[in-house]
Amino acid sequence: MSKLGKFFKGGGSSKSRAAPSSQEALARLRETEEMLSKKQEYLENRIQRELSLAKKHGTQNKRAALQALKRKKRFEKQLTQIDGTLSTIEFQREALENSHTNTEVLRNMGIAAKAMKAVHENMDLNKIDDLMQEITEQQDIAQEISEAFSQRVGFGDNFDEDELMAELEELEQEELNKKMANIRLPNVPSSSLPAQPDRVAGRMSSTSSSAHRSRAASSRRTEEEDDDIKQLAAWAT
């Protein structure tokens, strides 16, 4: 058996001790990471210093330069080992953090399930169904009451719409006849209008033609008025 196996076997002999909590394990892993990071920084500085010594003694003291390079190689090997160890510890820490998170989630879900169970123990499905039916019935009643209030209330309003429209038309026709009776039709002249007396002897011909055009225009207006009156009378009757 290897020394490492003996070490873990010997360390596991004290089974009576309780396992550390996840918080304690995470704290120890973070402390280890911090210690290895400091050791890593120290080794990097030593590598740079040994490299400087090798360059300094390269031409003057080859033995000292070789010793410096040997130390540099040992420090680089240790630095590589520390890099691997840090990667392993980082992976272990992340896995432990995820496990701790899952544990907390599972514990909280269990608490929530117990709380829901305690709440549901005081509920009866039959009572819930009865309550929902009662709520539905009350909503239907409220809807019927609202519809009853919104309906139009008629007190003897059942009249025939056709009769009302016929009576309205008769009233309008009667009112129109009254208006037509009050209209005074103009008298149509039986003879032509007299010509105006001559004022200036030199304008006789122009005055005569103007009077003739005036009489023609007056006659046309009279005829148009007669036609309008006849049409209005025919529409009224």
Residues whose CB is less than 8 angstroms from the CB of residue 185 and which lie 6 or more positions away in sequence, other chains included:
229
- Report the amino acid identity of residue 221: R
In a domain, 141, yes or no: no
Tell me the CATH number at 50: 1.10.287.1060
In a domain, 73, yes or no: yes
In a domain, 230, yes or no: no
Give mean pLDDT, residues 22-45: 90
What token pair was written down for 6? 């003996």
pLDDT at 80 over 90: yes
Give mean pLDDT, residues 54-67: 83
What is the tally of structural domains in the chain?
1
Give mean pLDDT, residues 104-112: 91
In a domain, 207, yes or no: no
Containing domain of residue 39, as a range?
21-124
Say if CB 93 and CB 30 are below 8 A apart.
Answer: yes
What token pair was written down for 109? 């879900």
Collapsed DSSP state (helix, strand, coil) of residue 88: helix
- Report the amino acid identity of residue 93: R
Give mean pLDDT, residues 144-163: 71
In a domain, 29, yes or no: yes
Of 27-36, 53-62, 169-178, 215-224, which gets the smallest average pLDDT? 215-224
Say if CB 29 and CB 94 are below 8 A apart.
Answer: no
Greatest alpha-carbon pair distance for the chain in Å reads 164
Is the overall model pTM greater than 0.85, yes or no?
Answer: no
In a domain, 57, yes or no: yes
Q: Which band of pLDDT confidence, cut at 50, 70 and 90, is reported for residue 7?
A: very low
pLDDT for res 226 = 66
Mean pLDDT of the chain: 76
In a domain, 176, yes or no: no
Return d(Cα 92, Cα 99) in angstroms, integer: 10
In a domain, 112, yes or no: yes
What token pair was written down for 118? 């305690």
Q: Which band of pLDDT confidence, cut at 50, 70 and 90, is reported for residue 34?
A: very high
